[in-house]
């Protein structure tokens, strides 16, 4: 209990000291940031120009312009959609991911996995509102944000009696910042929860929490800032300020990397951390010699189904508006996932002579992962191809690649989220091309015009995507090694062999999932 309390205290204390020297304090009233790629809804932006909306705080280049700007109100449909999307992402984690993982472990470890998922998600949510949101989504430098929103200060204006607003991807259209912050909190929470599947069934509970605090602070937050933070569309008021505004964005945003809902930030980031953990925690006792079959594929199927449903909020919600790009992300999430289920099932049947329910459920997750960075960035045909490729690629990831690596990645976090995330990130650069049915990317934020088919270079965009993938792998890998080492030296990473054989439900939590 003392170690658990110390771990939670560590997380809260980091809110005051971490990145202090690197972070740059800013004068912006409201951070303008958005978790989608540079493919903004250009046509939607023009169509929505007359709709009620508020201007994001960091969106004006000069105080004089800000004073002249009309006071606008967030669209209620956008706000309602974002709140619903937030609920859907929570459904993905609790109970979706928890049941998906829980069914895959042995019965003696069922509750330990549920605990690791729910407590990790809860702890990261608290840390997000203490300091995480501020470091991810306020102006700082190319790698990390500032402390303007520490403890969410400035969200409410007592004098004016109004809430601060955050940018979307349309000029003059925003949502309440607390809505955006809540939505992004669920992303941070599920990313950390994904990692626990890689070293399930043998790690100490306190070690999980301590690692998550360190990794969230030094890997998730910088990657989220580098990929998703920018000054918002209204900041690009004239050609004279374009370079200045772009220089204030995160590094990968400046590069032009496309990540609609988290291929790099969520899936590759978490998968690398999980793989490092699988190596550093070590293999389960009896791995390769004893049966470690899932104890309830029924629960795994239920969890996968909840993940699929919740993922519509994850992907379509990342449009930040109830518009055509949300609809595109929505339908792409449906078609890519269905394609991946079919591809995995066919591949499994060819390999083993039979298609399994576990394979179908895993295929669904593979498709969901791969379409995440591409959801609002590709057309329907591109989404289907991404899903089909991901199904076959991730099937190889959990079989051939896993044997090559030699790690005991308990629930195939890297094989599905790592491989799927990489496939999706790279293919986003291909199928974003308008020549292949993609919506293209915004080429000029001042006029909100898209890159034309003749000007779009697939090779150049894929290279940018590859650099983003490599940076994420290296960053998360280095942070994970250091974080696991610190935890190992201070708390210790794994339980004793006796406790592992007894099962973590009893040895770590003093209860059993099943009786009789």
In tens, the pLDDT along 477-492 reads 999 999 999 999 999 9
User: By C-alpha distance, which of 200, 384, 366 is closest to 292?
Assistant: 200
Could you tell me if 347 and 129 are in contact, meaning their C-beta atoms sit under 8 angstroms apart? no
pLDDT band at 73 (very low <50, low <70, confident <90, very high): confident
Cα distances (Å, whole numbers) of residue 263 to 197, 300, 391: 18, 23, 16
pLDDT at residue 507 is higher than 60: yes
Identify the helix (H) or strand (E) that includes residue 23: none
pLDDT band at 71 (very low <50, low <70, confident <90, very high): confident
pTM value is 0.89
**Which pLDDT belongs to residue 52?**
35
Rounded to whole angstroms, how far apart are CA atoms 423 and 336?
A: 13
Could you tell me if 299 and 223 are in contact, meaning their C-beta atoms sit under 8 angstroms apart? no
What are the pLDDT digits (tens) for 191-206? 999 999 999 999 999 9
Cα distances (Å, whole numbers) of residue 113 to 134, 305, 358: 30, 18, 18
Identify the helix (H) or strand (E) that includes residue 34: none
**Which pLDDT belongs to residue 6?**
52
What is the three-class DSSP state of 500? helix
pLDDT band at 160 (very low <50, low <70, confident <90, very high): confident
Identify the helix (H) or strand (E) that includes residue 174: strand 174-176
pLDDT at residue 501 is higher than 90: yes
Rounded mean pLDDT of the chain?
90
Sign of CA dihedral 168, 176, 187, 243: positive
pLDDT band at 513 (very low <50, low <70, confident <90, very high): very high
Whether domain 2-58+75-509 has CATH 1.10.3430.10: yes
């Amino acid at each position: 209990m003392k170690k658990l309390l110390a771990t939670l205290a560590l997380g809260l204390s980091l809110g005051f000291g971490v990145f202090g020297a690197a972070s740059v304090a800013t004068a912006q009233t409201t951070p303008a940031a958005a978790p989608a790629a540079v493919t903004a809804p250009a046509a939607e932006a023009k169509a929505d120009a007359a709709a009620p909306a508020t201007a994001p705080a960091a969106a004006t280049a000069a105080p004089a312009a800000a004073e002249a700007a009309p006071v606008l109100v967030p669209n209620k449909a956008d706000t309602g959609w974002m709140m619903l999307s937030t609920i859907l992402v929570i459904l993905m984690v609790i109970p979706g991911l928890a049941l998906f993982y829980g069914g895959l472990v042995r019965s003696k470890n069922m509750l330990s996995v549920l605990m690791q998922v729910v407590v990790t998600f809860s702890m990261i949510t608290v840390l997000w509102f203490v300091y995480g949101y501020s470091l991810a989504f306020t102006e700082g430098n190319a790698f990390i944000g500032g402390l303007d929103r520490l403890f969410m200060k400035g969200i409410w204006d007592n004098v004016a009696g109004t809430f601060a607003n955050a940018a979307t991807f349309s000029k003059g259209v925003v949502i309440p910042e607390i809505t955006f912050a809540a939505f992004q909190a669920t992303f941070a929470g599920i990313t950390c929860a994904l990692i626990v599947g890689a070293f399930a069934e043998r790690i100490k509970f306190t070690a999980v929490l301590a690692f998550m605090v360190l990794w969230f602070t030094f890997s998730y937050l910088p990657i989220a800032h580098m990929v998703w933070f920018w000054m918002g569309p209204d900041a690009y008021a004239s050609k004279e300020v374009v370079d200045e505004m772009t220089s204030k964005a995160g590094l990968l945003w400046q590069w032009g990397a496309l990540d609609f809902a988290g291929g790099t930030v969520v899936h590759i980031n978490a998968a690398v951390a999980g793989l490092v953990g699988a190596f550093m925690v070590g293999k389960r006792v009896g791995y390769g010699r004893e049966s470690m079959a899932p104890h309830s594929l029924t629960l795994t199927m239920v969890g996968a189904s909840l993940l699929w449903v919740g993922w519509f909020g994850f992907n379509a919600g990342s449009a930040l508006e109830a518009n055509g790009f949300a609809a595109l992300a929505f339908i792409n999430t449906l078609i890519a996932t269905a394609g991946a289920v079919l591809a995995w099932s066919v591949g499994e049947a060819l390999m083993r002579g039979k298609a399994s329910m576990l394979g179908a459920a895993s295929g669904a997750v593979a498709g969901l992962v791969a379409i995440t960075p591409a959801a609002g960035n590709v057309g329907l045909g591109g989404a289907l191809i991404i899903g089909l490729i991901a199904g076959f690629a991730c099937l190889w990831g959990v079989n051939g690649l896993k044997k090559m690596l030699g790690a005991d990645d308990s629930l195939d976090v890297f094989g599905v989220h790592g491989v799927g995330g990489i496939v999706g990130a790279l293919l986003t650069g291909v199928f974003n091309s308008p020549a292949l049915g993609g919506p293209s990317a915004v080429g000029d934020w001042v006029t909100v015009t898209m890159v034309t088919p003749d000007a779009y270079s697939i090779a150049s965009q894929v290279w940018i995507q590859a650099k983003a993938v490599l940076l994420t792998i290296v960053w998360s890998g280095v942070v994970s090694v250091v974080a696991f080492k610190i935890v190992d030296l201070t708390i210790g990473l794994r339980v004793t062999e006796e406790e592992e054989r007894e099962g973590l439900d009893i040895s770590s939590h003093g209860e059993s999932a099943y009786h009789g």
